[in-house]
Structure 1
Amino acid sequence: MQANPMRASDLRVHNQKMVLSIIHASQRIGTSQSEIVQSTGLKAPTIFRIFTALEEEGLIEALSSELEEGAAAKKGRRPVNYIVSKDAYLSIGLEFWTAYLSIGVFNFIGDRIYSGMHPLPGGVHADEVLDLIVLQVQEILGQLSIDRKRVLGLGVAAPGQVDLRNKRVAYYPRIVGMKDVALVERLEERLGMPVLIHNNCSALAFSEYRYGGYSHHNSMFTFLLRTGVNGAFVHDDVIYTNSKEMTIETGHIPINFDGPRCSCGTRGCLQAFLQDLDPNSVDLRLALFEGLDAKLKEKDPFALRTIERAAGYLVIAMRIIKRLLAPQSFLFVCCSSVVADALATEVKRLIVEPDAFENNPPLIFATAYDPLLAQKGASDLVLKEFFA
């Protein structure tokens, strides 16, 4: 059966959104009508009408209209480049885990106009976290005098496994009651704005992929080590999810069935092995290996041995991930650059062992966790959905 053709009104909306996304992607350089004619194949009169409509709506603005110099000036005005109007829309990016809630507000061109960090008390309940999210968003809207109509949405980077299809947090054991929580539905009802949910490791990985400056060849798997460990795979600007549209749980890859008991109920998970190396981190709500910086700088044998063992466990998981997803690079995000660099150095030493399935070892990168990048990643996911 032949699919119904797109209605003229739908086609106009589609084309306008497509053109706006191209202008947005051009950032501060901008792009001209003629360039978009060439890149989209749409006719010049159509592009002219779209530009006129976008400008009248206050979504784009001309960057320059100066005459070209010299002989080129005889040919008339050079093409005018357009950029998106930075104040046309706003997006909010928020991340939380067992110890902190971090929130940022960004204008349409991606500039951060507000950022805040809020500690979460020990034993905090899921309902209390949602109350704090609502309170913070409402206070920020009032403080910055933001019209809700200008807010494209709130991107929430939540801990644990996230069910994207049903827009829920499936399970996060370190916040009481954070199991099968209909986070999107509850926040949209209370805030009256679109809410998009993803895993916090995925949002951070997305941001590191885009802005970290790594030569990752458009394929990077990120490990995030905090009280636990998780991972996210970004390939060609897309975050990988499983067939059920749920975020992947890298920390619960079993690397030895005789290993320590894990919070998920099984034995031998990657996370359980890493937490066993630093048992106080969970109780104190610290990131794994937090506090090892000075000892690593001093070449303390215990600290070096701890990182060596952690790297060994991670390499086992990496070999599994390489077989399944074949990322071109890996990024380790830790509590500090000292810990991250030490871990990456040891991983590089171990990963070069002969491998019959891959001739070249993956690229290895390392960095310290940056809550501002997690905010930005959550905000970018809102924009990605808006332009979809």
Structure 2
Amino acid sequence: MERQPLRGNDIREYNEKLVLNLIHKNEGISQSQIAKITGLKAPTVLRIFSKLEEQGYIRQCAADKEKINKKGRKPVFFCVSPGIFNAIGIDFWSKYASVVAVDFCGNVLFKKVYHLKDGIKASETTLILKKLVIEAIEKSHIKKDRLLGIGIGAPGRVNIKDGSIISYARIKGMANFPLKKELEKSIGVPVFVHNNSSVIALSEYRYGIAKNIDSLLLILIRSGVGGALIDQGKIFTSRNSTALEIGHMSIDINGKKCTCGRKGCLEAYISEDSIISELQKITAFTSLDEITDKMVTPDFKKVIEKQSYYLFEGIKNLYQIFAPQGILIITRSMPVSTLLGNFINKRLKDDQLSKDNNLVILSDKYDPVLAGSGATDLVFDNFFA
């Protein structure tokens, strides 16, 4: 089929979204900076700015002192108007669901974390997510016509094209489950679904500890072990679905039996439950988020060091496939994340990996607000696409 040429209106709309996206990403940017970045002519940029300001999408604002040229005429800086649009982000897994509502500037208007009961079903989970969204809309005073959509970081393998969860064994009935369809039908706004590891990786890349690491591999340790790769700012996917379910990568074919039935899976050794099981031999607690720095004894460190051995085997395999610039390890405990990162760095010094590259190992604690904000970016990215 012969490709149709772009019409003048198409080009104008593309340029307007391009400019608005740059203003959205850069808080406090001038017309001259936009012209330099985009290559658009000054009169075109002036027309677009005038239209966006008239429509209420952008407003004049202050800028960082570094952006202001001390010599000559001071430029006028613009930011997006916070109240013009909103988005809602959700991150959920077998134990918790978190929701965040933000304005167009990304300011958090509402946040909530909800504990999911053991043995919860997919239909019950969907009902809870719906209630959380409605609560976020009501308490943030969001008007439906201003809500661009809902972004969801979902567990397991996700079909990002139709928004269904392909497989996730820890919630009953969450296999080939049409999550996007169910929520759009009940709430009436667009829903965008991606894997939660990918959403968290993207938020850490854009706003968190891994900011501007061009090739980032995330390892998320919760009830299972999830993975995600961000390369040049884009989430790695395969055939319209998320990838890197690294928890079921075997690191020992004769090893410990996994819940999936296979032997030696990575998450059989370093999932949250596996780590807790080992730590309970020396101290009493039930969840990683209960761990404080005071609990980190020499015996505690020995347990985490042992677990880090299995993680390191997985990291070596993943590095040979993806060769990332940085690897980010996230758990729900900062002491555990830090120790795992330190032990991995220690092993790197004695391994060929450290001699062949400048691999950076980072550690962080899972942040439900940051994860929710990352999910809202699914909405904004679609708006600017």
CA distance in 1, matches of 2:150, 2:313: 37
Task: Give the structure 2 partner of residue 60 of structure 1.
Answer: 58
* Letter paired with 1:208: E
1:369 aligns with 2:331: no
How many percent identity over aligned positions? Answer: 35
SS in 2 for 1:251: helix
* Letter paired with 2:314: A
Deviation at 1:13?
1.2
CA distance in 2, matches of 1:267, 1:331: 26
Deviation at 1:216?
6.2
SS in 2 for 1:180: coil
Change (3 A) 1:273 1:383: same
Give the counterpart of 2:93 among 75, 94, 97. Answer: 97
CA contact (8 A) 2:119 2:171 kept: yes
Task: Give the structure 1 partner of residue 45 of structure 2.
Answer: 47
SS in 1 for 2:237: coil
Deviates more, 1:97-106 or 1:230-239: 230-239
1:269 aligns with 2:265: yes
Task: Give the structure 1 partner of residue 282 of structure 2.
Answer: none
1:238 aligns with 2:234: yes
- Map Cα deviations across residues 174-201 of structure 1 (whole Å, 9 max, x no partner): 1111111111111111111111111111
1:188 aligns with 2:184: yes
CA distance in 1, matches of 2:38, 2:293: 55
Deviation at 1:261?
2.6
CA distance in 1, matches of 2:364, 2:70: 49
CA contact (8 A) 1:225 1:333 kept: yes
CA contact (8 A) 1:201 1:224 kept: yes
Deviation at 1:99?
1.3
1:343 aligns with 2:340: yes
1:15 aligns with 2:15: yes
1:25 aligns with 2:25: yes
SS in 1 for 2:298: coil
CA contact (8 A) 1:259 1:273 kept: no
Task: Give the structure 1 partner of residue 146 of structure 2.
Answer: 150
Aligned counterparts, 1:373-384, within 5 A: 373-384=370-381
1:305 aligns with 2:302: yes
CA distance in 2, matches of 1:344, 1:357: 14
CA distance in 1, matches of 2:212, 2:37: 26
Task: Give the structure 2 partner of residue 130 of structure 1.
Answer: 126
Deviation at 1:96?
0.8
CA contact (8 A) 1:227 1:286 kept: no
CA distance in 1, matches of 2:286, 2:15: 48
Give the counterpart of 1:219 among 197, 215, 218. Answer: 215
Task: Give the structure 2 partner of residue 171 of structure 1.
Answer: 167
Q: Which runs of 5+ in 2 are unaligned?
A: 279-284
Change (3 A) 1:358 1:233: farther
Give the TM-score normalised by the residue count of structure 2.
Answer: 0.89
* Letter paired with 2:32: S
Give the TM-score normalised by the residue count of structure 1.
Answer: 0.89
Give the counterpart of 2:206 among 200, 203, 210. Answer: 210
Change (3 A) 1:215 1:10: closer
Tell me the C-alpha RMSD between the 2 structures: 2.6
Count residues in correspondence: 374
SS in 1 for 2:264: coil
